[in-house]
């Protein structure tokens, strides 16, 4: 698959800004680059709007995705409200017939559970430019409210950022029947058990000759 990852705002457009000056544009770029890395580890093709703090118009974003013939368009944002207690994840799609409607529901469910935030559900809009002008199935994720002091504090944690990225990544990969690669997990293969040590040595040497240089007997 070829994914288009759109990291909201950037450059002269910081998007929403928290009470302590954390920018939406910086936050979604950080999360988005982790998602990009996760998808590429699974041999998925990824196109991005930006990979630095640069400004691009809404038309540029949809036009680039269309020219690249991407399969899916994913736009990342942080929400904001004058109600400082507002909290939760929501995902926007063009209409209920969208191919990614169920994916949007899964992202809401998974993020709500994994980062312990309310599930505000899937919402419909024909007003978002990136949903209206893209030719491929598209969705826009409002990860949580940067205006909420609890969320703002959490965003300063690298683990929290990684948890968000991993949850979105695993949701996207599951949609195309894949699972996220975990760099911290290693699997070992045991070839067999032998009463005669000489037989074990022969098999170990055969494994080494075929490229398994870390084969050993225990």
pLDDT higher than 80, residue 87: yes
For residues 207 and 86, the model is more confident at 86
Buried b / exposed e along 68-78 (16+ C-beta atoms within 10 A): eebbbbbbbbb
Q: What is the pLDDT of residue 152?
A: 98
pLDDT higher than 80, residue 44: yes
Q: What is the pLDDT of residue 185?
A: 56
Chain segment 173-193, per-residue pLDDT in tens: 999 999 987 655 555 677 777
Q: Where are the beta strands (DSSP E) in the chain?
A: 2-7, 45-48, 72-79, 89-93, 119-124, 138-145
Give the separation between CA 191 and CA 188, rounded to whole angstroms: 10
Question: Mean pLDDT, to the nearest integer, of 135-143?
Answer: 98
Q: What percent of the chain has a predicted confidence (pLDDT) above 70? A: 95
For residues 185 and 102, the model is more confident at 102
Range in 59-73, 78-92, 114-128, 174-188 with the lowest mean pLDDT: 174-188
Residue from 177, 128, 178, 118 nearest 150 by CA: 118
């Amino acid at each position: 698959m070829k994914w288009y990852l759109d990291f909201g705002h950037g450059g002269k457009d910081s998007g929403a800004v928290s009470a302590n000056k954390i920018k939406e544009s910086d936050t979604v770029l950080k999360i988005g680059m982790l998602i990009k890395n996760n998808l590429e580890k699974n041999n998925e093709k990824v196109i991005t709007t930006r990979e630095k703090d640069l400004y691009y118009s809404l038309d540029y974003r949809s036009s680039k995705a269309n020219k690249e013939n991407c399969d899916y368009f994913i736009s990342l944002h942080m929400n904001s409200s004058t109600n400082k207690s507002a909290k939760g994840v929501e995902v926007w799609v063009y209409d209920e017939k969208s191919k990614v409607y169920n994916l949007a529901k899964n992202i809401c469910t998974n993020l709500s559970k994994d980062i312990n935030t309310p599930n505000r559900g899937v919402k419909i809009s024909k007003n978002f430019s990136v949903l209206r002008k893209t030719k491929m199935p598209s969705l826009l994720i409002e990860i949580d409210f940067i205006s909420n002091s609890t969320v703002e504090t959490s965003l300063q944690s690298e683990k929290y950022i990684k948890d968000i990225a991993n949850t979105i990544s695993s949701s996207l990969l599951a949609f195309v029947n894949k699972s996220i690669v975990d760099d911290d997990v290693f699997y070992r293969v045991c070839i067999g058990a032998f009463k005669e040590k000489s037989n074990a040595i022969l098999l170990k040497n055969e494994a080494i000759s075929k490229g398994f240089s870390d084969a050993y007997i225990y």
